[in-house]
Amino acid sequence: MSQHEMREQRIQEDALLMERVAARDASAWRLLVDRELGRVLMLAKRMLNNHQDAEDVAQETFARLWQQAPRWTSEARIGTWLYRVAHNLAMDRLRHRQHALDDAELLVEMEESLPAPARESPLARLEQAEQRQLLDAAMARLSVRSRTALLLVNVLGLRVAEAAGVMHLSDQAMASLLARSRRQLRLLLTPWHDTLLGE
Amino acid sequence: MNRSDDRWHSDTITDQDLDDLLAQVPPETPSGRLRARVLAMADHPLTENGHWWWPFGPLWRPVAVLACSALLGLGLGMTWSTTGFSQDQRMWDESVFLLFGPTEGE
């Protein structure tokens, strides 16, 4: 099965799920919430850097999905729709906060900006926590646009065109933003190569 | 960075490394309170216009217009002074008398 066919199949599956939601099938709603709430919350939290705001955004996003259920059209995946709404709501909150984050691409030496991890950690779990801490800190140094692009494509698995739709960008602008964001994140993480990759 | 070129290249995070690292980012675990609030949305009836608290669909627009009109009329009715109207009428009568003299009825 080609990627296109797989995507079409998933869209059809999502449409069926939304039909059940529109028919007030509580189990379908629970399935949807369990599948997507954590991902929406992750996107919102990493965009906003604030857990309470992220929870508010996630709740509002799902409230809109619930309202949208009777009018759902099978043109997009539920996840893509949710990320778009969550992205818009999060951007509104950022504007209200008057955070001038966009396009101020910041490259700061990680040695100066990040706490040094304990390199002699004996437990793999701790090492994984260190890796996650470093990655989180590095992503937090990126602009919100760069961070969002990476999250949508590399973490949440959207295609570039889908992520472009979520962020209201052209496909070309999205690809360019993504390439720039990846380059910046690689640079930020390079000093921690050994810790991150265990070599 | 005080590294030789070889050392630098070997320590560079590659695209594949980055993909692997980002693939490990876990979704957030929603709090029980958030999950409960979102799940509770299914307890409310879903109507065509999507508001569980308004079961009459798009009828809210004419209803809102009527309610506003009624309120406006009520407000005007409560505040309009009938004595003010009489004074205006008297001033008009006096002006007509001064301009045109007594009319036939007077």
Please report residues of A whose CB lies closer than 8 A to that of B15.
182, 186
d(CA A61, CA B37): 12
pLDDT at A78 over 90: yes
Please report residues of B whose CB lies closer than 8 A to that of A62.
38, 41
Least confident of A148-157, A170-179, B37-46, B51-60: B51-60
pLDDT band at B86; cut points 50, 70, 90 = low
Helix A124-141 / helix A171-189 crossing angle, nearest 10 deg: 130
Closest Cα in chain A to B17: A197
* Structure letter (DSSP) for residue B50: S
pLDDT tens-digit series, residues B30-69: 999 999 999 998 887 655 555 556 666 667 778 888 888 8
d(CA B5, CA B8): 5
Which residue of A32, A39, A42 is the best one to mutate when testing the B interface, meaning the one whose CB has the most B CBs within 10 A? A42
User: How many degrees, rounded to 5, is the angle at CA A28 between CA A25 and CA A31?
Assistant: 150
Nearest Cα to Cα of residue A68 among A14, A22, A13, A12: A22
pLDDT at A98 over 90: no
Helix B32-40 / helix A26-48 crossing angle, nearest 10 deg: 130
pLDDT band at A3; cut points 50, 70, 90 = confident
Closest Cα in chain B to A152: B22
pLDDT at A54 over 60: yes
Q: What is the mean pLDDT of residues A136-159?
A: 92
Please report residues of B whose CB lies closer than 8 A to that of A154.
18-19, 22-23
CB atoms within 10 A of CB B12: 13
Least confident of A70-79, A162-171, A177-186, B40-49: B40-49
pLDDT band at A105; cut points 50, 70, 90 = very low
Predicted interface score ipTM higher than 0.90: no
Q: What is the mean pLDDT of residues A1-28?
A: 86
- Among positive and negative, which fits the CA dihedral A7, A13, A16, A22? negative
pLDDT at A122 over 60: no
The chain-wide mean pLDDT, for chain A, equals 84
pLDDT at B39: 93
Cβ–Cβ of A189/B29 closer than 8 Å? Answer: no
Please report residues of A whose CB lies closer than 8 A to that of B45.
24
Q: What is the mean pLDDT of residues A41-62?
A: 94
d(CA A99, CA B32): 30
Encode burial over A67-102: b for 16+ CB neighbours within 10 A, e otherwise.
bbbbebeeebbbbbbbbbbbbbbbbebbeeeeeebe
pLDDT at B14 over 50: yes
Q: Are A162 and A87 in contact (CB under 8 A)?
A: no
